[in-house]
């Protein structure tokens, strides 16, 4: 199913993408020179256009890439490399970048092209353009992220698990276990900003059970994506009411979702095909497993043919290398990440954050329904008793707006995002209660 994405919120999204978190759209110009912060905190200094060798951690394995440095952005670099006999672009997140060196500098030092760079001597800072890996044992956090985006699945929980990871320093691993049918665009804005900030310090992984629309948009930001065997991801449609967005609004949303793909190191055309029927998508895969994506149907494997918005299942995700693997359990996921229980610390903080919020949301929804019933049909044998019940119900409603606004505003019956009308009604009822008391006092005298 599709989201309740609202076109009226689009300007907020574009502002968040362009300004609030410092991420540019795909057309943004890259720098000519800059600093690249590596995973271990060291900094590489160099120029766009340089030939470089990058050692990258992918799914727990070190991979060496050599090629031309095309772009330097805040949290990633883009390389042009040879792959399967073709020139392709590779997006590398700084958190995965264990080592980066200029090939010309390596040649002057006598290192042959393609040879691994040597680590700096103990106690000395890494040489310019070279950094060694951080050997500190990481912690794995798993955050179950369930329900409608905006109610059960919210940016606050992602930010909260980020704070737990921050206590241990940069370089922790955060897994967002997604099971969501979609949700609200205003939450998508905040999720985008939260994830971009979080990815500047930690590796963020999506583990997919169900990631539709806003759930898919969230997952595309992540550094790696793993699927459950029944997992599904896609159908990122923007709606204005019950009608799909079109024109300028649709064009801008295509750019935003394409950017989310690139932030996660993926081909932007995958996201485009998930947004609307028009974009075509196919890929080729050679005998060595190398994949090349096409924004046309020229590839052997066709995914989007203008009949429906793209949604990727686990089998396709693995074959196309959109996903790094399949895991139905935490232990299976650890194997895919190349960790055993002695290599990594597993935190329970994510489960605790999830359980606490879900319990609060459930209590809110239950008490809201009872309060609305008491407000509509109060008990009591006279006006004073009934008024007392209604006042109590209004106070409950107002209190829950403060404690759990999503449960009040978005879980049926929907009450809006402000308690103002209930506060005004409470004042009227309190005034009437005062009048009843005065009448009783006069009658008593």
In this prediction, residue 225 carries a pLDDT of: 97
Cβ atoms within 10 Å of 1's Cβ, excluding its own: 9
% of the chain exceeding 90 in pLDDT: 55
In this prediction, residue 128 carries a pLDDT of: 36
Of the listed ranges 68-77, 207-216, 313-322, 354-363, the least confidently predicted one is 68-77
Per-residue pLDDT reduced to its tens digit, 107-116: 444 444 333 3
Of the listed ranges 34-43, 293-302, 343-352, the least confidently predicted one is 34-43
Looking at the domain assignment, is residue 440 inside a domain?
A: yes
Question: What's the average model confidence in pLDDT over 280-302?
Answer: 94
CA dist 303 and 291 (Å) reads 14
Model confidence at 184: pLDDT above 70 = yes
The residue from 351, 369, 404 where one domain ends is: 351
The runs of H, that is alpha helices, within 22-174 are 103-108, 155-166
In this prediction, residue 125 carries a pLDDT of: 37
CA dist 408 and 150 (Å) reads 12
% of the chain exceeding 70 in pLDDT: 80
What CATH number is attached to the domain comprising 244? 3.90.226.10
Q: Which residue has the higher pLDDT, 32 or 80?
A: 80
Same structural domain, 260 and 397: no
Per-residue pLDDT reduced to its tens digit, 124-143: 333 333 333 345 678 999 99
Same structural domain, 345 and 413: no
Question: What's the average model confidence in pLDDT over 414-428?
Answer: 94
Question: What's the average model confidence in pLDDT over 43-66?
Answer: 83
Same structural domain, 398 and 298: no
DSSP 138: P
**For the chain, what is the radius of gyration of the CA atoms?**
26
Same structural domain, 345 and 367: no
Same structural domain, 265 and 386: no
Model confidence at 331: pLDDT above 50 = yes
Question: What's the average model confidence in pLDDT over 27-43?
Answer: 63
What the block records as the tokens of 255 is: 């750019």
In this prediction, residue 56 carries a pLDDT of: 86
Same structural domain, 306 and 428: no
In this prediction, residue 168 carries a pLDDT of: 93
Looking at the domain assignment, is residue 116 inside a domain?
A: no
Residue 244's pLDDT band, with cuts at 50, 70 and 90, is low
Question: What's the average model confidence in pLDDT over 357-381?
Answer: 95
Same structural domain, 289 and 193: yes
Per-residue pLDDT reduced to its tens digit, 203-229: 999 999 999 999 999 999 999 999 999
The whole domain housing 405 covers: 360-444
In this prediction, residue 75 carries a pLDDT of: 73
CA dist 220 and 211 (Å) reads 10
Of the listed ranges 1-15, 263-277, 309-323, 405-419, the least confidently predicted one is 1-15
CA dist 378 and 392 (Å) reads 10
Looking at the domain assignment, is residue 30 inside a domain?
A: no
For 209, the 3-state DSSP assignment is: strand
Residue 256's pLDDT band, with cuts at 50, 70 and 90, is confident
In this prediction, residue 82 carries a pLDDT of: 84
CA dist 200 and 95 (Å) reads 7
CA dist 206 and 225 (Å) reads 5
In this prediction, residue 59 carries a pLDDT of: 52
Handedness of CA 42, 47, 53, 55 (dihedral sign): positive
DSSP 9: G
Looking at the domain assignment, is residue 319 inside a domain?
A: yes
Give buried/exposed letters for 390-411 (b at 16+ CB in 10 A, else e).
bbebbebbbebbeebbbbbbbb
The runs of H, that is alpha helices, within 404-419 are 405-409
Per-residue pLDDT reduced to its tens digit, 373-392: 999 999 888 999 999 999 99
């Amino acid at each position: 199913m599709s989201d309740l994405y609202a076109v009226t919120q689009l300007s907020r999204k574009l502002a968040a993408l362009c300004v609030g978190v410092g991420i540019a759209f795909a057309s943004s110009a890259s720098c000519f020179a800059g600093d690249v912060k590596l995973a271990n905190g060291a900094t590489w200094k160099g120029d766009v256009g340089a030939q470089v060798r990058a050692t990258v951690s992918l799914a727990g394995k070190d991979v060496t890439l050599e090629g031309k440095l095309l772009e330097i952005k805040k949290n990633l670099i883009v390389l042009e490399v040879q792959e399967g006999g073709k020139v392709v672009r590779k997006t590398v997140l700084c958190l995965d970048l264990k080592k980066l060196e200029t090939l010309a500098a390596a040649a002057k030092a006598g290192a042959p092209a393609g040879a691994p760079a040597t680590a700096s001597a103990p106690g000395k800072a890494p040489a310019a353009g070279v950094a060694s890996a951080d050997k500190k044992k990481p912690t794995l956090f798993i955050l179950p992220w369930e329900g409608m985006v905006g109610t059960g699945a919210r940016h606050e929980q992602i930010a909260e698990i980020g704070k737990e990871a921050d206590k241990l320093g940069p370089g922790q691993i955060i897994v967002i276990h997604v099971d969501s049918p979609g949700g609200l665009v205003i939450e998508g804005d905040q999720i985008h900003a939260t994830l971009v900030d979080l990815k500047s310090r930690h590796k963020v992984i999506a583990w997919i059970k169900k990631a539709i629309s806003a759930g898919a948009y969230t997952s595309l930001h992540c550094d790696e994506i793993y699927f459950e065997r029944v997992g599904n991801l896609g159908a990122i449609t923007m709606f204005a009411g019950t009608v799909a967005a079109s024109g300028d609004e649709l064009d801008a949303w295509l750019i935003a979702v394409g950017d989310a793909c690139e932030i996660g190191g993926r081909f932007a055309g995958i996201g485009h095909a998930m947004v609307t029927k028009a974009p075509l998508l196919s890929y080729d895969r050679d005998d060595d497993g190398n994949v090349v994506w096409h924004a046309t149907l020229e590839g052997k494997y066709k995914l989007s043919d203008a009949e429906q918005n793209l949604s990727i299942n686990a089998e396709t995700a693995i074959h196309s290398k959109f996903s790094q693997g399949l895991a139905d359990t935490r232990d299976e996921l650890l194997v895919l990440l190349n960790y055993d229980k002695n290599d990594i610390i597993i935190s329970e903080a994510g489960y605790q954050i999830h359980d606490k919020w879900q319990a609060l949301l459930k209590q809110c929804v239950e008490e809201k329904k009872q309060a609305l019933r008491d407000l509509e049909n109060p008990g009591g044998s006279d006006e004073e008793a009934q008024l007392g019940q209604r006042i109590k119900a209004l106070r409950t409603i107002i209190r829950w707006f403060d404690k759990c606004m999503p449960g009040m505003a978005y879980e049926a019956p929907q009450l809006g995002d402000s308690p103002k009308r209930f506060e005004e009604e409470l004042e009227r009822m309190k005034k009437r209660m005062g009048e009843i008391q005065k009448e009783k006092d006069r009658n008593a005298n």
